[in-house]
Amino acid sequence: MGTERLNITIPTEIAEKFKRKIKPRKRSAFISDAIIKSLNEIEKKQLNDLMTEGYLARNEDDKELISDLENTISDGLDD
């Protein structure tokens, strides 16, 4: 995998803490790992949202089908 240099801006307090906690030769890997974790969480949430949307849509379809079937099943039983 290739690499690309990025110029980013972060709050001073975060930058100072980052520089104190992470050794200079480990910083790029740390940032890459943090970005990957965040992107995975975003993708997981998007998938969850899509699944929830699909479930809710399917649930409404199922309610209609059940209602139609209940009407069909009871049709003519009262005669």
Question: Is residue 12 a part of any domain in this protein?
Answer: no
- Looking at every residue in the chain, the average pLDDT score rounds to 89
Residue 19 lies in a domain: no
The total number of structural domains in the chain stands at: 1
Residue 11 pLDDT exceeds 60: yes
pLDDT (0 to 100) of residue 75? 60
Cα–Cα distance measured from residue 26 to residue 74, given in angstroms and rounded to the nearest whole number: 71
Is residue 69, in this structure, part of any structural domain at all?
yes
Please indicate, yes or no, if residue 29 is contained in any of the structural domains: yes
27-63 pLDDT tens trace: 999 999 999 999 999 999 999 999 998 888 888 777 8
Return the pLDDT at 78.
60
pLDDT for the residue 65: 80
| In a domain? residue 79 | no
Q: In terms of residue numbers, what domain contains 58?
A: 24-74
Which residues make Cβ contacts (< 8 Å) with residue 10, sequence separation at least 6?
18
